[in-house]
Amino acid sequence: MQVTVVGWAGSYPGPTSPASCYLIDTGDFRLLLDLGSGALGAAQQYTGLADIDAVVLSHLHADHCLDMCGYSVFRNYHPAGPLAPLPVHAPRGAAERLSRALGSEHLGMTDAFMFSDLEPGTIEIGPLRITTRHMNHPVETFGFRIEHGGKVLAYSADTGPTDELVTLAQGADVLLSEASFAEGPDQPPNLHLTARQAGEHAARAEVGELVLTHLVAWNDAAASLEEAAAAFGGPLRQASCGLRLLG
């Protein structure tokens, strides 16, 4: 299982990265985990868009799902003919929400994609074993534990502090954790993690490596790394476009 960071910018695309998107490739199965603003273009550096086997969306905030609009156009109007509907695992209401965003009166979201509602639990998607839990965020949001070939990736999606993330990430080889907030007294609760909090969750889960992601362009990324390092003593990196993990 190889994981490629397609986009890591938090909340909106940054000058050097699209919003959230990760490509998971087992060699014979390719999954896009989130497809945020700007990610559809960048993804084509790493995969053909017709070669994707499934999409999983953590939640329906625009910076995690809005490029599904462009992807539906690619699949519905492909010059070789419409591509077969692609399995999409997403929170309840995704088809309606994304259809409104697309605004198509002809071929639309449900022509391009077969939507399944995510629930907390464990499912098999192709060769991947994926365990989901609810995160601590204002809309229904899932974090993930993705297992294949003895390797484990955990992904926080967007979340405030939660024991559920520690459970999901327990002993994972890599925790890809959001670190949206800079340390400060006035951060709203139940929304995002600071880098220090990401480090604390990683330490409690005893993960092999922490990769900070969903960093917001107006924050100081170097300061975020320092804050995380103060809480987590293991290997630590910041996500970057094209960064490959686990493979």
Footprint of Zn ion on this chain (CB under 5 A)? Answer: 61, 63, 158
Q: How far is the CB of 186 from Zn ion (least distance, A)?
A: 19
Q: Which is nearer to Zn ion, 142 or 232 (CB)?
A: 142
- The residues, any chain, with a CB within 8 Å of residue 158's CB and separated by 6 or more, are 58, 59, 61, 64, 135, 137, 141, 178, 180, 191, 192, 214
d(Cα 90, Cα 107) in Å, to the nearest integer? 20
Q: How far is the CB of 36 from Zn ion (least distance, A)?
A: 7
Q: Which is nearer to Zn ion, 65 or 245 (CB)?
A: 65
Q: Which is nearer to Zn ion, 61 or 133 (CB)?
A: 61
Q: Which is nearer to Zn ion, 76 or 136 (CB)?
A: 136
d(Cα 13, Cα 182) in Å, to the nearest integer? 18
Q: Which is nearer to Zn ion, 53 or 158 (CB)?
A: 158
- The residues, any chain, with a CB within 8 Å of residue 178's CB and separated by 6 or more, are 10, 156, 157, 158, 159, 192, 193, 198, 212, 213, 214
- The residues, any chain, with a CB within 8 Å of residue 134's CB and separated by 6 or more, are 120, 140, 141, 142, 143, 164
Q: Which is nearer to Zn ion, 76 or 213 (CB)?
A: 213
Q: How far is the CB of 216 from Zn ion (least distance, A)?
A: 9
Q: How far is the CB of 210 from Zn ion (least distance, A)?
A: 18
Q: How far is the CB of 199 from Zn ion (least distance, A)?
A: 19
Q: How far is the CB of 149 from Zn ion (least distance, A)?
A: 29
Q: What is the DSSP string of 113-182?
A: EEEEE--SEEEEETTEEEEEEE-SSSS--EEEEEEETTEEEEE--S-SS-HHHHHHHTT-SEEEEE--BP
Give residue 232's identity as a one-letter amino acid code: F
Q: How far is the CB of 79 from Zn ion (least distance, A)?
A: 33
Q: Which is nearer to Zn ion, 53 or 63 (CB)?
A: 63
